[in-house]
Structure 1
Amino acid sequence: MFNRDRRSMRLVFAAVAALTAALVNVLPGAAVATPGPPNRLGPVQMQNAVNGLAVDAEAGDMEEGRKILQFTYGGRHGQQWWFEAATGSSYYLKSNVNGAYCIGLDGTLAVLKLCGGDGTTWEFDKVQADTYLLKTPGGEEYLTSPTTAGGKSNSGVQLTLGSRAEADTGRGHWHLTDLVLEEYTPPADPRLDQATFLTTHNAFNSYGDGFVFPNQSRSMATQLDEGVRGMMLDVYDGSEPEDPLRMCHGTCVVGGNRVFQDGLADIVTFLQRDADAVVTVFIEDRVTDRAKMASEMAAIPGLKELVFDPEVQEVATHGWPTLSQMKGLDKRLLIFSDHSDVPEVGVRLQRNWTVENFWSMGGLAGNKDCYTRWDEIPLTRQEPGFTRLFVMNQFRDAPTAITAAIDNGDSLVDRALNICGPAARKTPN
């Protein structure tokens, strides 16, 4: 599902967009025997349900004995598989690089083998929609991931056989995920998790706000006026205990800084002027004095009244409200911190409410794989009562106006449709 709105995709500045997206919740259930995988017209990626990593052929090479690994997803052909009936209720799991090769076994280790050889057939037991156990025919051993955590640090590990108990930890549950997201039109009044938000990285670090080495060309106020609805802010203690909290990039001594209260005041002023707007703030939080942070934020006129606190609003139980409901409550500002809650002003720990892919594509944008920023919270993480917001990062180590023009627009849409969306099983917007 994806809304291909090219106009909003082009509303980018001298940095990069991050995106917030929706997930259709699927609750876990008991596995039941099925005659085979769902009828599909083309290949799929097979993705571990608990750590989000994809089944991959080692180095993408088609050669007998190559390891079958779990790997971060990048849409490569070595991560694409299709199914062909074998004997009885068993199937071959065929590579989309060369259909002569299948996922097989060398003892208890998963390897690439010529289809038809010993240990190259599998049976499917359905767990839930598009999620299956893959077991050895007539046996009780299952294709299993060796780790529950995902991310780059757990990528490249060989898959193995495991018991039913090991498989049912989720390590043996496999999503069959389409390679390209289905396009769709969101509802007229979407829930927050169905809405699209253009987000700027280091939104404060701009020419417009006086910074010397900026990521953005326009000031925070101008970004909001031109359509930005999410802002990533780096916040630090002041130089002295009596100094106000500051926004700066890496250091508050060189390159410029700005008072945190002033930046938040820009957002509050904008929301008071535009009653239809909803804004989300993501704080890269280096503040040690949590009480000071709470008091400074509470002192900003109008801020507390506008904050939507997902804990107070019981989102974990009832799900996210629609945008019209947020407007009706006049609770149109969400604030997340990567450090901890600041409950006095409704700031919530981000990793409890979102999933987020790793922040950089590298210096030359060569790393297009989409994987979690937090190993213990895969992009595919599901909750029983609500859908986590998906923050999709799309920027380099040091973005500039020139590289932003390259990395956004069609490049952003392509990565969202073909890599990050399938990797998260959610629609990046």
Structure 2
Amino acid sequence: MRLPALAVTALLVAALPATALASPNTPAPPNTVAPQNTLAAAESGLHYLQSATNGLNASASASPVPLRRPKGNEDRQQWNVVGDTLQEGGRCLGRSGDQAVLLACDSADARWEVVADGASRVLKVPGQNRYLTTEGEQARVGTRRDTWFLNPVSPTRVAVPQDGSRRLDQVTFLTAHNAYANGVDGGFAPPFVNLAPNQARGVEQQLADGVRAFQLDIHQTPDGAILCHNSCTLVSGPVALNVDLRRLVDFLGRNPSEVVTVFLEDYVSVDVLRAELAKVPGLANVLFRPDQAGVRQNGWPTLDALRASGKRLLIFSDEPGRDSLGAMFQPDWTVENYWSMGAGVGSSDWSCYSRWSTPLTRTEPGFTPLFVMNHFRDVPFTGTATSDNGKLADRARRFCEPAARKTPNYLAVDHYHLGNALSAVAELSRDRFQASTR
């Protein structure tokens, strides 16, 4: 079914009744749109036009129109939906041959038909079988039927259920980047001195302070899987993975309502990891296995369901082939933005784009990957971390949520105790991003 006006399709969810927004897992009916009379009161507004193919946004910063990493409006990514046009700065998204260009808004080549395609939209040349497409980092026009997301700059937000009724993908957790690199629990960096720690408090204190997810680097040595930064050579007093895992398992034993997650940057063999996990008493009693719990078919469990089962520890690895150990291959279960915001001092890059080959917007029928939002620099200077952590919620809402079309489940920071990162967790836990095309 086709709509005559871009504004009608782009603002579909804005005009839906509240009951239709109550369930974020309810998929849009394929190739259908709501009757036009339900959208009569819809208003035009600012949107990002994001490619479903690569997660990049169309930008009016140049003509022909490029695709850029989502970055707010710093390079003119916000388009005003007016009738059947997308306007920016007095010009409109249009076409010239096979190129997407900026044109005068009264040009016939600046008008688009919009076709619903499940949760996304197809921008079609009126009266022709030609569409707005992607070619690398360029917006083009061709016969391939590419799909796009129209994400409102001021999106709809939906309230989350009460604590126990929330699914795991409706919760946001404070996450310590390189949690082991703290200079308190033991050595982590060569040679001998622990330069530029990512955290200033040990793992036990991190747990007490509200950290609920831990990013850990493990390296293979004759002593097993050891927590080190880049290399364990010449590290004084390094800590083994099993030591920190015992801390987490013991914490869960003392706190039966808590849920903890571990993300492994994994440089060890399967056999070494297996031996290391076997050293942790009680691990099997608390380890949650999403592959065995039907998560991909039924979605994530609620917090109450996890508590009732006692399975409240999730372990992910960035290396495949560990699933049989209970360390899930992370790209199968999460999406994650690129880790670096830039150097340790100076201006930072707040754009949010995928660390992996799959886009941040990836979803599957009945299953939403958990979203890991990295928010730290190349070098963890405390002054910079203090400033960055104070802006965590702002970056999440203005840049990362529109890029991923979901609220982060994990906020990963350096020096979590500076800049009040927990306030960002609380803010993002009050409600969740609801994309208009979802």
Compute the TM-score of the two structures, normalised by the length of structure 2.
0.80
Change in 2 beyond 3 A, CA 1:181/1:227: farther
Aligned to 1:270, the other structure's residue is in SS state helix
Corresponding position of 1:133:
122
Aligned pairs for 1:29-428 (under 5 A) are 29-30=30-31, 39-57=42-60, 60=61, 66-76=63-73, 78-85=76-83, 91-95=84-88, 98=89, 100-129=90-119, 131-147=120-136, 157-163=137-143, 166-167=144-145, 172-188=146-162, 189-211=165-187, 212-213=194-195, 214-238=197-221, 240=222, 243-254=223-234, 256=236, 257-287=238-268, 289-363=269-343, 364-375=346-357, 377-409=358-390, 411-428=391-408
Equivalent AA in structure 2 for residue 139 of structure 1: Q
Corresponding position of 2:415:
none
Aligned to 1:119, the other structure's residue is in SS state helix
Compute the TM-score of the two structures, normalised by the length of structure 1.
0.82
What CA RMSD, in Å, does the superposition of the two structures yield over aligned residues?
A: 2.2
Equivalent AA in structure 2 for residue 231 of structure 1: F
Greater RCO, CA 8 A, separation 6+: 1
- Structure 1 gaps of 5+ residues are 1-21, 86-90, 148-156
Structure-2 separation of matches of 1:34 and 1:173: 21
Corresponding position of 1:152:
none
Aligned to 1:305, the other structure's residue is in SS state helix
Shift of residue 56, structure 1, vs aligned partner: 1.0
Equivalent AA in structure 1 for residue 86 of structure 2: L
Shift of residue 389, structure 1, vs aligned partner: 0.3
Tell me the number of residue pairs that the alignment of Structure 1 and Structure 2 aligns. Answer: 372
- Structure 2 gaps of 5+ residues are 1-22, 188-193, 409-427, 429-438
Aligned to 1:282, the other structure's residue is in SS state strand
Any conservation in 2 of the 1:298–1:304 contact (CA below 8 Å)?
Answer: no
